[in-house]
Structure 1
Amino acid sequence: MIPTDTTTGHAYVPSWRKDDEAAPRYFFRAAGVVERAQMEAELSGIFAAGRVFPFELISAFRNGLQALLSDDPEIDTLLELVETESRGETLSASDRQALIQARAVLAQHWPEYRELVAQQERRKEIAPIVVFRRFCIGWENVDAKWSLGKDKQVPEAVLAAIDPMEMIGAGNFGYGLIYGAADDRTFQQPSQSDADPSTSSSDMSRADGTSKANDGPATPALNSQAGSGASSTSGS
């Protein structure tokens, strides 16, 4: 279920640092309906990284096969395999390899398919950062001073001080929070535990900035000592 409370903070801890007492904790809030649409508009417009739906890829795959391999006797088999895969049915290793090879050919030689793959890759890389900028409301144990720009988003200079892998993992967590854990996301996650917002359900912080988790210090209140780096948060 998509959260409707857009003020409460939800904590993310990188999965590879779960057992570290000094692990960073990034706090995210859920998005309102309009905020979610604004985020998608930014991705689609400014970054050309809108959603790529499975049916679009399948359609481009079909079109490419029919245009480039119309005389190949294997075309019907490939079309059947992609349909089988789209239904969630298990493919043999040889069938998977055949699809991988066909997609590699199309990505090189069929512009429609190539652009969709490129768009999907842009989204995978950019969407977590956009989410981080818009919906991260604070952090602890991070060597960066918490601040927001005039646009009420995390500034580029602050992002540059954050570990890139942590930022991508946290942004993916925030994306999952915005859409709900059941959302069919269109960019890959760094790990299974980082992909699933439900894995951090016990680490949610309250709207006033204090933490309900028992595995770390309470989140400091707004306007905590500037420059500490290790512990900075802000309310929404």
Structure 2
Amino acid sequence: MKKFSVVLLVCSTLLFSACSSDKKAETVNSNTKQESKANKADDAKKKKEAEEKKLAEEAEKKKQDGISKKVLEADTAMKAAEANPTDQSVDSAKKSVEAIPGDNAELQKRLEEVTEKLNEIKQQQYSQTQSQITNPDTNFIDADGNGFDDRSDMNDDAKRAQSAAMENEANRQWHQGQENIRTGVDPKGNELLPGQDHAAGSNPDGTPDPWVQGQIDWAIENGYSNPDGTPTEKGQQAIDEVNANASPTE
């Protein structure tokens, strides 16, 4: 009986030991699987973060390249405006500068300077016009006293018709100017000069003023511009030469 008890005890011990080993093996196997799953999740997270970082870097590079392109375009337009300040060239430069994301202080300052220069030219033109009004042609001849210059080849009826047309046009421009003041822009959507009824280089109705029209006519007559305002081959060569000779922007 004693011997049987010993055998039973040994068997129980062996059985318990085998069960413990199986449980231990199962625990180790479970821990291994959990660690493997965690490692895979961590690797996937790192891979996703790397991809997102790469995409962000590419997007930022593309953004900066776009800004650099717009700065170059604005600089080119600005050089053309500085070389020949006209309503069209300054407006083109203004649009190019405003198209740059953010604030480019250097180009904005140059835009303000060329705009001021254009306004000075306009003021000089206006002063000359006023001077002509207050100091009329001393060679004016009005032998019949009808208020028309007898040196003109037109007869009096034609002169009266011309005078009436000019007066009507002046009235039309005045009324349009009042409407511009009310809306803040001219019929073409151009912003008015401060305290004026017209945009820079324009009549109240949005057409080019005499000085600008003179520049346009000169460019067309001398082969620099087409009637539609686009540069001819000669005109484009002149623009390219101006850009090439302009000092590079720091």
Larger relative contact order (CA 8 Å, sep ≥ 6) = 1
Task: Give the TM-score band, short-chain normalised.
Answer: under 0.3
Higher-helix-fraction structure: 2
* Larger Rg, first or second structure (1 or 2): 2
TM-score (norm 1): 0.20
Task: Decide which structure has greater strand share.
Answer: 1
Q: TM-score, normalised by structure 2?
A: 0.20
